[in-house]
Structure 1
């Protein structure tokens, strides 16, 4: 397959599965979009092996890891996602450690069903989300040494992931997983049993709403750390990341608007709101 066709296949994966992020990528300079789509497509491929497996996920992840071995060893790639990823890794000198950390978190999903506190959850969110921000840094470019922008890039990935945990709590429970730290929930009198009961009976509970509201406030603090890093990016990349941040943080606004009664509904930012934010970004974001 031609390299441009491989990148085009990655773009289709991004457009289908990551509509909010895909909209934001339209604001990137044209040269940065293919690599962004390739990184998204790889992450989505691994995620699907775990969340929607058609065969044993541990075996599938092992095969994915061996494909990475070949990729970093310089072997030719035939799979379109890996063909595009190989070019992206070479072009931006991406480190293997970031991909290994990602696969480690994917494997955690096969055995770990809940986390006692944010310290424990941090091991998972680093690999599942923060490394995505770190992979993106060379693609986006920085106006400072990359290591100075790295903490904010990692925080942005973490912020997006925490928002997903709040929005998708019901769906995650159906898979047997509870990502929200049990210690934080317990402070409000909430445990897995109460959440499962609310999900099964399509009910809510004031204790659950208060707990989710507190976790959303913590999530907003992570967004503030991430937002502080936007001026450290190259100017042509800032509007994309700012748009993605505003849109994803807007999910927290929607959760609050529904008073965190979200165990049986999927909350999202409306298309009108997404288009309005994106349109505003095209007029120029000022750091």
Structure 2
């Protein structure tokens, strides 16, 4: 398989699956867009293995271990029949992306497969004689570490592709990743709870006088949402603080990539704003940014990209 063919496979995966991310890819120069698609395809595969609920958790661990071993061997030998590994290997060479960052990325996606985790407490809930065990983060410090592994690491990889010279960009990318993940957590409260995961810190639930059982009743539409919405408002306020880092990061990124970051931040912050505008009703339906709005943001980003390249 040629490098061109490998990147084409990754691009097809990104077009099909990336949603918000792919809008930002489209305003990048070709070589950077290819690299972002390779990273995304790698990340998507790790997520898919971790989230494959038709497969027992023990089996998912085995599949993940085998897949990770195959990637490590591809890195060591420089040879692979997996197009994602071929493209990613080329991307890592071009943009000096260390293996350690990608190892952290996979570590983040596999956290939910671990039998026990630091910073996580187990809570049981019984409904109709069925008992469910849920994982709940104890405090925001522990949740921050999770956000770092599943989102900030992605940001640290992305800025290596975007290009930067000021070392402050790394901390700002870390915080921007946390803002994105907190937005995802707010949007996916119901979906995550159904999977046995609560990413709202227990310390925040306690401070807001919200019991896990009460939150689950709201998810099942069995209880009034007022108290839970107050809790979500607190988390949204926290996310907005982290979005401020994105504004500082933007001018530190190479000019030919700033539009991509702007598109991504604008879409994600727009999602948070829609959640806020719906008064934190993330229970009746999945909140999203309309495609028409994304296309408008993309058009604005393309205009920004053209202007930035003209002054390079």
Same topology, TM > 0.5: yes
Once superposed, what is the RMSD of the aligned Cα atoms? Answer: 1.8
Does 2:153 match 1:131? yes
1:207-226 C-alpha deviation (Å, 9 max, x unpaired): 11111011001101111112
List, as ranges, runs of 4+ consecutive aligned residues in structure 1 with deviation greater than 6 Å.
none
Give the CA deviation at 1:54: 5.1
Task: Determine helix, strand or coil for the equivalent of 2:14.
Answer: helix
Which shifted more, 235-244 or 194-203?
194-203
The count of aligned residue pairs is 285
Residue of structure 2 in register with 1:189 after alignment? 209
TM-score, length-normalised on structure 1? 0.94
Q: Distance in 2 between matches of 1:210 and 1:83?
A: 47
Q: CA deviation at 1:148?
A: 2.4
- Structure 2 length normalisation: TM-score? 0.86
Structure number with bigger Rg: 2
What is the alpha-carbon distance in structure 2 between the residues aligned to residue 194 and residue 226 of structure 1? 35
Change (3 A) 1:183 1:80: same
- Is 2:102 aligned against 1:92? no
| Larger fraction in strand | 2
How far 1:39 sits from its partner (Å)? Answer: 0.5
Identify unmatched segments of 5+ residues in structure 2: 118-134
Cα deviation 1:93-137 (Å, max 9, x = unaligned): 211111221222222111352211111112211111111111112
> Distance between the aligned counterparts of 1:273 and 1:51, measured in 2?
29
Change (3 A) 1:31 1:202: farther
Query: Counterpart of 1:163?
Result: 183
Take 2:284 and 2:198, find their aligned partners in 1: how far apart are those partners?
15
Distance in structure 1 (CA, Å) of the matches to 2:50 and 2:150: 12
What is the CA distance between 1:159 and its match in structure 2?
A: 1.4
CA 1:84/1:203 → structure 2, altered by over 3 Å: closer, same or farther? farther
Q: Does 1:280 align with 2:280?
A: no
Residues 1-287 of structure 1 mapped to structure 2, 5 A cutoff: 1-53=1-53, 55=55, 56-111=59-114, 112=117, 113-142=135-164, 144-145=165-166, 147-201=167-221, 204-284=224-304
Q: C-alpha deviations, 1:148-206, integer Å up to 9, x for none?
A: 21111122222111111100111111110011212112221223211211122365411
In structure 2, how many angstroms separate the alpha carbons of the residues matched to 1:176 and 1:131?
Answer: 24
Counterpart CA distance in 1 for 2:177 and 2:262 is 13
Name the CA shift for 1:200/1:54 in 2 (closer, same or farther; >3 Å).
closer
Distance 1:11 1:205 in 2: 41
Residues in 1 aligned to 2:16 and 2:261: alpha-carbon distance in whole angstroms:
20
Kindly provide the CA deviation profile for residues 33-71 of structure 1, in whole angstroms up to 9, marking residues without a partner as x.
011001011111001111125541111121122123213
Which stretch shifts more, 242-251 or 259-268? 259-268
